[in-house]
Amino acid sequence: MRLERGSAHIQLTALQLDGGRDGIVASAGNSDLTITDLTTNNVEAAVRTSSPNAVINGGTINGGSTGLDLAAATTVSGMSINGASEGIRARSTEPIRAENVAVEATDLGLNVSPGTPFTLANSSVHALEAVRGIFTPEGTNNISLPPLNLLAAMGVPLILLAIVLEQVHTFRQRKVGGNKRRLPPAIPVGAG
């Protein structure tokens, strides 16, 4: 859904988007954008907004490459971002506030560009790199690596691959003769 320049007083409620490249894209010429109870599944960029003073209340973003890409003053509250490569990208000279947000990203949880005034309040951010950049914390925030089950899910295939490769190596060694000690062929001593 693309919101072009000149749009005003836009309210999107209980919108569900499945798949695709862009979910909601709001240009800088918009005003008074409110998104409530958004649900996206495997949308590459769920929300990209340059609309000043946008409000995003509640909802769930599942999968995709970027959950929220915020390029203007925005207030986000009660949002859950699960399995996106990058949870929230903030790149604005105006204040951005995220409150009661839960981010479970696979690569980067919170990406705050230099010079962006970003406030994180009473939220949790879990990712391999939880935060890149500087933000202002408020209340109780939980910022850490992803939960153990996500790390285990990434490590188990590697362990299984190592076991299979070791078994292949052992089988090949047995087939060739394995660990038997080999002597070099005898060289006849010439008489003469």
For residue 104, report the phi and psi dihedrals to the nearest 5 degrees. Answer: -120, 85
pLDDT string in tens for the chain (192-residue length):
888 877 778 899 999 999 989 999 998 888 889 999 999 999 999 999 999 899 999 999 999 999 999 999 999 999 999 999 999 999 999 999 999 999 999 999 999 999 999 999 999 999 989 999 999 999 999 998 765 556 566 677 888 888 999 988 888 877 765 555 666 777 777 755
Cα 42 from Cα 61, distance rounded (Å): 8
Output the pTM of the full model. 0.73
pLDDT for the residue numbered 187? 79
Q: Side-chain half-sphere of 121: how many Cα atoms within 13 Å?
A: 10
At residue 147, the pLDDT reads 59
- Residue 23 phi/psi, 5-degree rounding, is -90, -90
Query: Contact 70/91 with Cβ under 8 angstroms?
Result: yes
Half-sphere exposure of residue 48: CA atoms within 13 angstroms, side-chain side: 15
Looking at residue 94, its pLDDT comes to 94
Please provide residue 65's backbone torsions phi and psi, each rounded to the nearest 5 degrees. Answer: -95, -40
CA gyration radius, the chain? 27
Tell me how far apart the alpha carbons of residues 79 and 97 are, in angstroms, rounded to a whole number: 12
pLDDT of 159 reads 86
Residue type, 178: G
DSSP element (H, E) containing 23: strand 22-26
Hey, is 135 helix, strand or coil?
Answer: coil
